[in-house]
Amino acid sequence: MNFGFTEEQEMLRAEVRKFLDSKSPIEEVRKIMETEPGYSAKLWDEMAHLGWLGLLVPEEFGGAGLAWVDLTVLLEETGRSLYPSPLLACTLAVIALCENGTPNQQRRWLPGLADGSRIFSVALQEAEDRLDPEGTQTTGRSEGGRFILRGEKHFVPFATAAQHFVVSFRNSEQPNDVSLAVIDGDADGVEVCDTPSIDTTKRFGVLTLSDVSVPAERVLGESSPAGWPAIARLLDHAAAMVTAEAIGAAEGGHALIVEYAKQRTQFGSLIGRYQGVKHPLAEMYVDIESIKSLLYYAAWCLDESPAEAPLYVSMAKAYASDAFTRIGIDGIELHGALGYTWEYDAQLYLKRSKWVKSAYGGSDHHYGRVADLGGL
């Protein structure tokens, strides 16, 4: 029994942190988040060279062939730095390809993801915002060995930056009869537009598919299409990634308040001495520790014990959604008016918490799932 990180994983953490601290400190994040693609192509390339974009890509396709627990380390650190990039979208595409693609499809697309030359996004959600089979209403009409895709995908991460999209679509009225396909952003009938987000380090947009013609070799799994369970798994991976980043971001936001409480004097004393301040800070620590424990176990399950993964991913995402929301709000409140300013960083964490609670199911959705899976 060993529920801790290895030395190699701790080294990875230290390297990522050092890289992000020096190359993407918060002043840099503020610059990047105001730019149009919403990420820095230069830093993206550097991360690719360091091997971090292909962490989960098998070695034969140019990746590091590592596991979800290693990814957790990377995401905690990108979260801590509020690092703006399509890393989650691309990693989700990697998982979609690894879990559902044929060897040919993997050979075709994974190397470009590992070396950072291609930006992918994954489009699973639609305007109704349902995370069940009915959530996929985009149709894929079969026509002479091709599929004609029609529909509208919403909340597509870094949509305007992506060159390729893994999209879900419906083959028939049968609820679970859904598939995944890779389409190019410049294909005929594809239109992308940006949706303004509260947290500008996290972009998403709308992907409109107007009779996009997709050859069968672009449908993941080709003759044995993915089906709903594959999409459900992807949604679990996505929720777990959001939670892993939430841990780092929550720790970053928490550290900011703790430091302030150690410096700010009121009524003749450091405010960190008052229990009205120190107790909420202790509660945040309890919550962050607990999210870590839940998410680390969920991350391990995603690779090693897939049957358990849905329950523990939902527990982690549910707990994180509520806890980080409180940390975001208290972070502003404990700073007083200063926390409310554009210039001060507390607002960045508050905005990040709004993204965390909304992305791939909030606490109501995930606690509901915990109830379903827990035999209620």
Partner 1 sequence: MDFNLTPEQEAFRDEVRRFLDENLPPEEERDAMFQLRWGKLVREKRWVGFSWPKEVGGGGGGIMEQAILKEEMANRRAPPLGTCIMGLAWVGPAIIQYGTQDQKDRFIEDILDAKYQWCTGYSEPDIGSDLASLQCKGLREGDYYVVNGQKIWTSLAQWAKWMILLVRTNPDAEKKHDGITCLLVEMDSPGITVAPIQNMSKQPFFAEVFFDDVKVPVENLLGREGQGWQITIGALANERSGISEITGLLRELDLLKELARNSRIDGRPAIEDARVRRRIAEFETRVAAMRFNGLRYLTKQIRGEPLGSETSVNKLHTAHLEKYTAEFALELQGSYGAIAPGRKHPIDHGRWQKEALGWCTAVIGGGTPNIQKNIIAERILGLPHD
- Positions in the binding site for partner 1 (CB under 8 A): 1-5, 69, 258, 261-262, 269-270, 272-273, 275, 278-279, 281-283, 285-286, 289-294, 296-297, 300, 304, 312, 315, 318-319, 364, 367-368, 370-371, 374-376
The distance of closest approach from Cβ of residue 126 to partner 1 in the complex, given in angstroms and rounded to an integer, is 23
The distance of closest approach from Cβ of residue 9 to partner 1 in the complex, given in angstroms and rounded to an integer, is 9
DSSP 187: S
The distance of closest approach from Cβ of residue 55 to partner 1 in the complex, given in angstroms and rounded to an integer, is 16
**218 or 292: CB nearest partner 1:** 292
Cβ count within 10 A of residue 341: 12
The distance of closest approach from Cβ of residue 10 to partner 1 in the complex, given in angstroms and rounded to an integer, is 12
**119 or 316: CB nearest partner 1:** 316
CA max distance for the chain = 79
**4 or 103: CB nearest partner 1:** 4
**6 or 142: CB nearest partner 1:** 6
Compute φ and ψ for 127, nearest 5 degrees: -60, -30
Structure tokens at 191: 């239109």
User: Following CA atoms 133, 138, 142, 146 in sequence, which dihedral angle do they give, to the nearest 10 degrees?
Assistant: -120
**102 or 293: CB nearest partner 1:** 293
DSSP 36: S
The distance of closest approach from Cβ of residue 272 to partner 1 in the complex, given in angstroms and rounded to an integer, is 4
The distance of closest approach from Cβ of residue 376 to partner 1 in the complex, given in angstroms and rounded to an integer, is 5
Structure tokens at 99: 């879990």
DSSP string, 153-189: EEEEETGGG-SEEEEEEESSSSTT-EEEEEEETTSTT
**61 or 260: CB nearest partner 1:** 260
The distance of closest approach from Cβ of residue 293 to partner 1 in the complex, given in angstroms and rounded to an integer, is 3
Pair 125, 138: CB distance under 8 Å: no
Residues 320, 127: Cα–Cα separation, whole Å? 25
Q: How many Cα atoms within 13 Å fall on the side-chain side of residue 75?
A: 30
**152 or 283: CB nearest partner 1:** 283
Residues 302, 252: Cα–Cα separation, whole Å? 26
The distance of closest approach from Cβ of residue 33 to partner 1 in the complex, given in angstroms and rounded to an integer, is 29
User: Following CA atoms 102, 168, 70, 326 in sequence, which dihedral angle do they give, to the nearest 10 degrees?
Assistant: -170
Q: Of the candidates 135, 294, 125, which has an alpha carbon nearest to the alpha carbon of residue 206?
A: 125
**53 or 291: CB nearest partner 1:** 291
DSSP string, 257-293: HHHHHHH-EETTEEGGGSHHHHHHHHHHHHHHHHHHH
